[in-house]
Chains A and B, each alone.
Chain A
Amino acid sequence: MSAAPDLITRQIQRDIRNRWLLSLPALLIILLAATGPLLIVVVYSLLTPGDYGDVKWVFSTEAWVSVFFQRDMFDDTLTPASAHLSIFMRSVNLSVMTTVFTVLLGFPTAWFIATRPARSRDLWLFLITIPFWTNILIRTYAMLEVIRNEGLINTFLMRSGLIDKPLQMLFTDGAVLAGMVYTCLPMMVLPIYASLEKLDFRLVEAAYDLYATPFRVLTKVILPIVKPGVVAGSILVFIPSLGAYVVPILLGGGKTMMVGNLIGLQFGQGRNWPLGAALSITLMVVVMIALLAYVRYSGGKGAKAHG
């Protein structure tokens, strides 16, 4: 008697079609100017370097071989590419340490902000947001001014007579780590704060009521509840750290290179685009593995439910 079911189906179909049309511009822009070209990188990694940059359209696996191995100039034997590997290892190490340090500093900071009275909370949040929005270049430059040989720390130490000649801090792994922690810190504080803001403090009261010490309240009640925030913050810190470019260039100089600089180099002085492409894909793979590990071991479900 009635055509109602048809009508519903038609309406749902029309709604879904409209939703696809509406999202089309965003999807197209991202496809053309962000993620689509990643596929071309795969193609380029299998070509031969051109003489002045770019590529020759000749198939070659040489780029991939040289990501992992060094070819001996005379007898063509392959030995592990220790230079590339050590740069990758340094990148992973520095990124892990950056993540750890930002959590150690960021969690108490987020807790501090979340426990302020509502009125002043906005101000503290504002103070975290300002560095977040400040150009990474400016923040790195500011850090550079503090730690270089004529910088604030050395000047202070020398004037107070504690040291005679400046400590070499710039162009060390420590400088890169300090710079990355400095630039990434707000990125950790904000998602943890977002989780803490929703924390029901009656749960903390309940834990104290049930004989938990402050330390156990923190580890058994608060941390499990705000874990999604910590996971989100860690992802937001770890991924950009792995691909860091500006900080190691300015604070690490030529000696403490990270993957980002190694890749950049192939498209500049190195003039080896296929190797740069192969290194990029390798970095992408490392990032994906890290992401998957995070999702698996840090309770991706929790992140979804609370996020």
Chain B
Amino acid sequence: MADHRDTSFDVRRLGGFTFIAALTFFALYVPIAVLVVFAFNAGESISDWQGLSMKWFAIAVTDARVIDAAVRSMVIAVSAGIIATAAATLAAIATTRTAPYRGLSAKYAFINLPLMVPEIVTGVALLIFFSRLKIWTGYSGLGYLIAAHAAFCIPFAYLPIRARLENMDDTLERAAADLYATPLRAFRHVTLPLLWPGIIAGFMLAFVISLDDVVITEFVKSGGQDTLPTYMLGQIRRGTTPALNAISTIFLLFSVLAVTIMFLADGKRSKDQ
């Protein structure tokens, strides 16, 4: 029998779980690590290491098509992110901290509906709808992509904002009203400052979700409207070069940055409350 003297019985231990967790983290990070490492390969291959070099980064960031796609991705992600966050904030205010009213749960379901529809279905639906609109209006600019991205980003932006609102003690606003603040001033001086971290988190979520989208963009985009992900999809299908690894690495860096901001905004929340 094992000697348990001076130890404690750990109720948090379940046999084998730590091993599986380790395996999961290992499996999650090895492919990403390989991808990043070969971005720095001096050779043409993405599996045969031939020395350290930054040349693929240089090639990637000077490629006009990459720059063009990256800029377009940013424009769409920022615009769609702002629109989605604004709409989601208003919707979150409209759907939280209220006695149930007619249509409330329907509203809630509708806002989350885009999450329930497979991307491919939304993609082809928008392809059909927008191709009609393009013929009728003659307009075929970025507006369609921004609208589509804003729409599927709303449920994501809505999530943290709604969560924060629901966790917010509504006696704070009652206290503000008690202290002579009109509803509008109570919102501006009490609700909004406390809601900011949620709004920032919501925007970051929307921004990243938009930046990452492949499927819907692939179907909605007109000719010459490649975003970075759709450009990369085309490239990968043609063949792989370390230049793709370099773009991916930069992209990855961006995601890490975004998640860090999210974590910090979220961390502020736990300290506030």
Contact = CB atoms under 8 A, between A and B. Distances in A.
A276 B120 CA distance: 11
Given A38-B125, A126-B259, A29 B21 contact: no
Contacts of A143: 31
Contacts of A240: 118-119
B114 interface: yes
Given A37-B126, A40-B125, A30 B151 contact: yes
B120 A260 contact: yes
B236 A141 contact: yes
Contact of B150 (A33, A129, A204, A284): A33
Contacts of B45: 150
Interface string B71-89: 0000000000001101110
B90 A23 contact: yes
Most B-side CB within 10 Å, residue of A16, A21, A108, A205: A108
Contact of A41 (B125, B214, B256): B125
A131 B20 CA distance: 18
A145 B38 contact: yes
A154 to B, nearest CB: 9
B251 to A, nearest CB: 6
Interface in B94-147: 94-95, 98, 101-103, 107, 110-111, 113-129, 131-132, 147
B31 A34 contact: no
Contacts of B125: 37-38, 40-41, 280
B154 A26 contact: yes
A38 B262 CA distance: 33
Nearest to B104: A19
Most B-side CB within 10 Å, residue of A136, A141, A246: A141
Most B-side CB within 10 Å, residue of A128, A131, A218: A131
B120 A201 contact: no
A277 B128 contact: yes
Contacts of A35: 110, 113-114, 117, 122
Contacts, number: 275
Contacts of A239: 115-116, 118
Contacts of A302: none
Nearest to A262: B120
A131 B154 contact: no
A109 B25 contact: yes
Nearest to B102: A16
A135 B256 CA distance: 11
A130 B256 contact: yes
- If over half of A's interface residues share one DSSP class (helix, strand or loop), that class is named, otherwise mixed; here it is helix
A27 B107 contact: yes
B14 interface: yes
B121 A26 contact: no
A49 interface: no
Contacts of A109: 20-21, 24-25
B15 A113 contact: no
A148 B90 CA distance: 48
Interface in A223-274: 239-240, 242-243, 245-246, 249-250, 259-260, 263-264, 267, 273
B11 interface: yes
Contact of A131 (B28, B147, B258): B28
A134 interface: yes
Most A-side CB within 10 Å, residue of B29, B48, B90, B258: B90
B120 A54 contact: no
A291 interface: yes
A33 B255 CA distance: 26
Contacts of A167: none
A41 B120 CA distance: 12
A240 B126 CA distance: 18
A90 to B, nearest CB: 15
Interface string B208-219: 100110110011
Interface of A: 15-16, 18-23, 25-27, 29-38, 40-41, 44, 54, 104-106, 108-109, 111-113, 115, 122, 126-131, 133-139, 141-146, 148, 150-152, 155, 182, 185-186, 189, 201, 204-205, 208, 214, 218, 239-240, 242-243, 245-246, 249-250, 259-260, 263-264, 267, 273, 276-277, 280, 283-284, 287, 291
21 contacts: A19-B95, A22-B91, A23-B107, A26-B154, A26-B158, A31-B110, A33-B147, A34-B114, A40-B128, A41-B124, A108-B14, A137-B229, A138-B35, A201-B11, A240-B118, A246-B233, A250-B236, A260-B215, A264-B124, A267-B219, A284-B117
Given A138-B248, A185-B24, 6 more contacts: A29-B147, A35-B113, A38-B117, A41-B125, A145-B35, A205-B11
